[in-house]
Amino acid sequence: MKDAYKLYDKYPSLLPKNSIKCKAGWYNVINQMCAAIQVYVDNDISGMKINPQFEYIRERYGVLDIRVSNGDDIVKLIANSCEKLSYHTCEYCGTKGELYCSSKYKSWSHFKTLCLNHAIELFYYKLHQKHQ
């Protein structure tokens, strides 16, 4: 959580306090997203004087779920790209990860994007994808 406070201090206009609700492994992805948006806003590239602000950045179904208000299509594209990066980033340590589930039965399982080490540590199972 200490790293989240660094992000709040670094991007006060983008990140209201307590808007980040995820594990530290995704903080670097969030930092890169905020940096890109901050450059975009500071240089007024859109010419519209936008003032985006994140309503929340949280884990949902094992990946990042991001809601941003007062942004344009470019801001939303950057946020969407950040969500996609979380599909391959361990939410605990930030290394390469993939989607795992907490049960052998996907219908009532909790999902997380984890590296192999954290999946083993937390007793998560690999999701096998059907090949068509």
**Mean pLDDT within 33-49:** 90
**Residue 129 pLDDT greater than 70, yes or no:** no
* pLDDT at res. 109: 79
**Over 90: is that where the pLDDT of 44 sits?**
no
The beta-carbon contacts of 49-57 under 8 Å, at least 24 apart in sequence, are 50/75, 51/13, 52/14, 53/13, 53/14, 53/15, 53/16, 54/14, 54/15, 54/16, 54/19, 55/19, 56/19, 56/20, 56/21, 57/15, 57/19, 57/20, 57/21, 57/22, 57/30
pLDDT reported for residue 62: 94
**pLDDT mean over 99-120:** 88
What pLDDT, on the 0 to 100 scale, is given for residue 51? 94
Evaluate if residue 2 carries a pLDDT over 70.
Answer: no
Q: Is the pLDDT of residue 130 over 70?
A: no
Q: Percentage of the chain with pLDDT > 70?
A: 92
Residue 5 has pLDDT above 90, yes or no: no
pTM surpassing 0.85? yes
Given a cut of 90, whether residue 90 has pLDDT beyond it is yes
